Amino acid sequence: MLSIANKTRQPLPRLPFTDIADQTAGKNYILSLVFVGSTTAKKLNQTYRQKNYIPNVLSFPLSKNEGEIFLNLACAKREYKNYGLSYKKYIAYLFIHGLLHLKGYSHGSTMDIKERSLIQRFHLNDQKHRHRP
């Protein structure tokens, strides 16, 4: 089950968020996806991760079958051109990235392979996909 909240003034891109969540986390996974701005994202990062930077996506597992993703639209808008994806498809990539963290994946080759597979499955490639540094 997916709930989506937009805490920004920016419109959300039309993407198959529910399908992506179901195929990545499972249909029984309870997920909250919240779109936030840079101020909120930085505060969450400081409060819960003790990190002092503005993140593009944050994932918080609440239990084995429940989690939250906070996606920073302002940060995504600044970064998307660096990754060979359109803004809309970069949002989808960040969502996939956050979902994989909720499923226990850490940065590395296994996560990269899974991300590429999901991007292809949902026809999200604009150009060559480049992993975030």
CATH number of the structural domain spanning residue 115: 3.40.390.30
126 in a domain, yes or no?
no
Q: What is the pTM of this model?
A: 0.87
Residue 96 belongs to what domain range? 2-121
Asked whether 100 and 80 are in contact (CB, 8 A), the reply is no
Tally the domains of the chain.
1
127 in a domain, yes or no?
no
Residue 132 to residue 105: CA distance in whole angstroms: 15
129 in a domain, yes or no?
no
72 in a domain, yes or no?
yes
131 in a domain, yes or no?
no
Per-residue model confidence as pLDDT tens digits over 64-113: 999 999 999 999 999 999 988 889 989 999 999 999 999 988 888 888 88
Asked whether 73 and 37 are in contact (CB, 8 A), the reply is yes
29 in a domain, yes or no?
yes
